[in-house]
Structure 1
């Protein structure tokens, strides 16, 4: 029986021991296939993940050799059915049931969330603790890739950790929860649900002053870093702590309904999804071609991000250019700038139009974790936590309804701190001469 692990360093093992996967390329290729287990991963996506900036001229050959090595390795280990298969235009890895730690984590997380929804706090605490115990470190930590799949998986891990803390609080384990949340907030300081759970845990430990200090620390961080105030539910929780609200210690009476602060503590009903479900990445540069740099355009976009964040005004940016002018490269450059300079002050989500697949709008909504919401509602909820840069690539072929929805945001939600960055062929603005008129709009033309 083969076992694959991605919740930490990437590993493959049988009853006879761990397999020697080799260097970064075969290890990273296996990691990406495992994150999309059972699904075809296009060759271009594999190349973009392995060489995000400047692939060598031999990139495709190196990838083919890595796949051949993996197939031989798994065949020699007695698991030929687990090797990567060629499926044009990419590869697919079929994982036997129960053989991937990620799937076990998702199954346990889903079961624990269902127990939590039924009010079985002790059962949920036990199940979710088992789920979190499968992690051996950051996901895919030894492949060194700045991949959206890994970021989404870490976000899912944080969600499940919060579910666990909610269950443990319900089971009366507030002392344990307080210690764990204080440590977790050091790495995820802007998660308001986590702040609220910590406040409640501290209050139940008899530490009212510390609970209020946790709120003030979070409020100052938001105000100084983003110019924002905590969500209404967290403000209501602070008032409840100040007033020694009895509901902080006991559930509300059946007919009274939940208190105003309860919403900030609960993750609400949701589905534990595969983190790779809505991931797109820029197409890598053709082998042998130099990168197209857009320094001035990046500076313009960085300035618009700062204005959107500081003035809390929605803005639409349209980047148009013929094929080969570097639209995807510009997207990669601005994402890199946001990642290294904003330090989490904005949330960047990406969607790309693909014929026959999820639309760019649908992918952005999924990336925001708001699949049950519409486009505008998803942006509103996401921006309530922190400003959003939503990148929608190749929208010139998107439906009229999606284009209308994108262009309407600066008009219908003018005070939303959202920057919409769309890329398209020049035909978009020639076909839609009214595109962006009457709203906050910037047009950048690449040549």
Structure 2
């Protein structure tokens, strides 16, 4: 390739698929053209066979001139990249291949992992900073254009879980740094967004308790128990049950 890593475009897939050169977004064209780019980004710079591209774009019913359509989409992408970067899209024996300098999903995953490790190590400020960076990258549904394509669903599920983790780490880091009253609405919103994630209930209960609202903390515990029992037919897990007992006996360690 004539292009160097410093010159390569970047890609965004946390939300609608975008390709940027020098910070400027390229016009990728219509829905199918964006699907093609999303497939190539998802492959993480590995060649994608034509048959796999056809499946991602048209399912089991590709048009008679599918190969020609893909060539047209690739030509448009190369034209947008310009002469210096057109070889970022390569045709190899294995299929089409897209080289990019960075992908927002990769950066996002790295920041989430970094934030979780920092929180577990007691480095709350670093955990808050890393989780904030991750959450700022999240624009919406990952690989949006690929709908229910199985390969995209696998990646989407992993990224959705990381996004949920980033939200929880962010709240946990703020709680470790002493936020309470101002954190309670965010902790409540996190519970409402994913009410079956018990760790979110733990964060909300701790936030309320440290705000001096023991009654509200116990009420939240009752809400969690009712929800889990009525919707899933299960009791709260051991960590949530232990937290309830510690709240009831005013465990001083809960304030630290």
The answer to whether TM tops 0.5 is: yes
Matched, 1:242 2:248: yes
Matched, 1:28 2:43: no
Partner of 2:97: 92
Aligned-partner Cα distance in 2 for 1:136–1:202? 30
Q: Where in structure 2 are there 5+ consecutive unaligned residues?
A: 1-6
Partner of 1:276: none
**Given the superposition, is the C-alpha separation of residues 57 and 14 from structure 1 closer, same or farther in structure 2, using an over 3 Å criterion?**
closer
CA RMSD in angstroms, aligned pairs only: 2.5
Q: How many Å apart are 1:59 and its aligned residue? A: 7.3
Aligned-partner Cα distance in 1 for 2:142–2:115? 21
Q: In proportion to residue count, which structure has more helix?
A: 2
Q: How many Å apart are 1:249 and its aligned residue? A: 1.0
The structure showing larger relative contact order (alpha-carbon pairs under 8 Å, at least 6 residues apart) is 2
**Given the superposition, is the C-alpha separation of residues 63 and 119 from structure 1 closer, same or farther in structure 2, using an over 3 Å criterion?**
same
Residue number among 207, 213, 219 corresponding to 2:225 in the alignment: 219
Aligned-partner Cα distance in 2 for 1:235–1:102? 36
Q: How many Å apart are 1:176 and its aligned residue? A: 4.1
Aligned-partner Cα distance in 2 for 1:178–1:50? 44
Matched, 1:229 2:232: no
TM-score of the superposed pair, with normalisation by structure 1: 0.50
Q: Deviations over 1:246-279 (max 9, x none)?
A: 12112xxxxxxxxxxxxxxxxxxxxxxxxxxxxx
Aligned-partner Cα distance in 1 for 2:219–2:56? 42
Q: Where in structure 1 are there 5+ consecutive unaligned residues?
A: 251-447
Matched, 1:208 2:214: yes
Partner of 1:366: none
Q: Deviations over 1:42-68 (max 9, x none)?
A: 44443343344x433337433443334
Matched, 1:124 2:131: no
- SS of corresponding position for 1:26: helix
Q: Does the 8 Å contact 2:55/2:62 carry over to 1? A: no
TM-score of the superposed pair, with normalisation by structure 2: 0.82
What is the number of residues matched between the two proteins? 244
Partner of 2:200: 194
Q: Deviations over 1:54-87 (max 9, x none)?
A: 43333743344333432333235x422432x334
Partner of 1:172: 178
